[in-house]
Structures are given as structure tokens and as C-alpha cells.
Amino acid sequence: MKKLIMFILIILLSNIAYAKINDFNVDFRIVDNKVHVEEVISLEREARFILELPDDASSISLYLNDIISNYTIINNEIDVFAKDIKLTYVTNKFLDRQDFLLDFKAKDDINKLSVKLVLPTYAVLAKPIDETTLASNAVFPKPSKLETDGQRLIILWERYNLKKDDNFSALVTYKFERSNALLYVIILSIIFIGIIAYIIYKKPRVKTIIKRPKVRIKKVVKEVGIEKYLKEDEEQVVNILKQKEGQCDQGTLRVITGFSKAKLSGLLKELEERNIVYKEKRGKKNLVFLK
């Protein structure tokens, strides 16, 4: 009888501790080199759920079943019990200069995952996107939808029927266009300089001819072709570092190349031993530099 009661209690506790996620919507908005994050989670019923926060999370707000709630953070986690959850916070975690990098892992089964990224005002993709196929080297993976509100670019990814521990990784590289205000300043400056130049050159001048000796300028371009000594996977890592101005976060390298952590670590170790790259620890990140 005692065993039967214990078995029933285990079943009941497991049902309370686990509930499938119907919808997991997460919005990222980049404003002034900060990422404003909003997570909206809908479970199939009230259950226990663990929310994870970055180390630098600030301006945290928590809503449980549409009611603002108090919270306690232990080891960067908030333990809640609810059906509908909304969490907002501000962080720098997902930014690497002008790259947005996301590595999401499903904690439970998810019917639908929606990830939306809103780039800063006047930001554009580092490389153009094909409007028909939505393919671009600046966006990985290919988005489900791409649109603009007139000032900001909005990228949306959607995934269905994710299983527990499934991963979703995304990388977006962007740059800034000159604003219209700056363009107006440049135009007005050119007009002003033109007026001053007209006033100066309108006065009679004495022409002076100065003969200058011709000087030949030789350009010497030195290229070190290390690529011919590299294997295909090693050459891929070196080319990415060149595109990133000689340095890149190891996590970003893993997303772009698609290599496993073990494979990438082995490649970097071999390249370090051959004095081609070196690594530095910056906080929780490993930065890889091209020598």
C-alpha cells in the first residue's frame, strides 16, 4: 500500500514539475548597444518553470498569468509556477561588436518557437539579402520573414515541434547607414564652401607657376599565402578571422562554421601550435586572434 501511495505521489509531482510549452516567443530589440529582451511563454497548464538570466541582466520585470510578480534570483535563475509567463530584461550578452549571436536550447518540448530581432535605427544588413529567397550571408539561418517599419529592420524566425534539448542558433551581421540629418549637414557644408571659394577666386590674382619635379612612387604589396599550407577546415577558420578584422569570439566561430565544440577546439589548438592564431580569455568569452 505504501508503495502504491509513493508511486501516485511521484506521478502527481512529475505532472506539476513538467508541462509542454505551447508557445515560446522571444523578442530582441537592439537600442544604444543594449539588447532589450522580452520572453513570453505559454505552457499547456500551470506548472513549475525555470527562467534563465544572463550575468549582466538589468531592468528585470516578471509577469505571471498577466500579473506583475516579485521574484528571487538564485544562480541567475528564477523559479516560477504559472501557465503564462512574461519576462523582460536588458543585457549585452547577445552582441559582439556589430554581430547579433543567439544560441537557444529548448528546456522542454515546444510546439512553436518564434524569435524576432529588431535592428537599431538606420542599421542595415552587412551584405544584401535576396528579396525572393530571403537568403543572405549576413543572416543565418534563413529567416521566416523580413520586413521594416520604415526605420528599423525586423527579422523573424519560426520553428515548430522542438524537442527538449534541441538547439536553435542565429547570427546577424549589420552596419549603419548615414542618417538623413548627416546628409543634410554635408550638403550645406559643400554649399557654404562653394560660396566662400567663389568670393575668394572672384578677386584678381597673380598667377605663379611652380615647377615640381616628378616623383615616382613605388607600391610594394607583400602577401603571405599561408592558405596553401592549411587544411580545408583550417582555411575556413582563417578566412572567417580575416573577414572579422583578425579577431572573433570562439562561440561566433562555432555558429558560422557549424563545427562541434570539440572539433573547433582541436582546430584552434593545432593552429596555435603552428603560430597562426592565439586565444585570449575576456570574461566568459574566448577571443581568437589571427597573427
What the chain holds in terms of domains, given with CATH numbers, is 19-176 (2.60.40.1730), 226-290 (1.10.10.10)
Beta bridge partners, 21, equal 43, 110
Q: What is the pLDDT of residue 7?
A: 45
Per-residue pLDDT tens, the chain, 291 aa: give them: 555 445 444 444 444 456 889 999 999 999 989 999 999 999 999 999 999 999 999 999 999 999 999 999 999 999 999 999 999 999 999 998 889 999 999 989 999 999 999 999 989 999 888 878 888 889 999 999 999 988 899 999 999 999 999 999 999 999 987 554 455 567 777 887 878 877 777 666 555 555 555 444 333 333 445 665 788 888 888 888 888 888 888 888 888 888 888 888 888 898 898 888 898 888 778 889 988
Instruction: Give the residue from 272, 211, 204 showing the smallest Cα distance to 237.
Output: 272
Neighbours of 21 (CB within 10 A): 22
Q: What pLDDT shows up at residue 91? A: 97
CA-CA distance, 37 to 48, in Å (whole number)? 22
Q: Which pLDDT belongs to residue 12?
A: 45
d(CA 127, CA 13): 51
Please name which of 10, 9, 94 lies closest in space to residue 53, comparing C-alpha atoms.
94
Its pTM stands at 0.61
- Identify the pLDDT of residue 228: 59
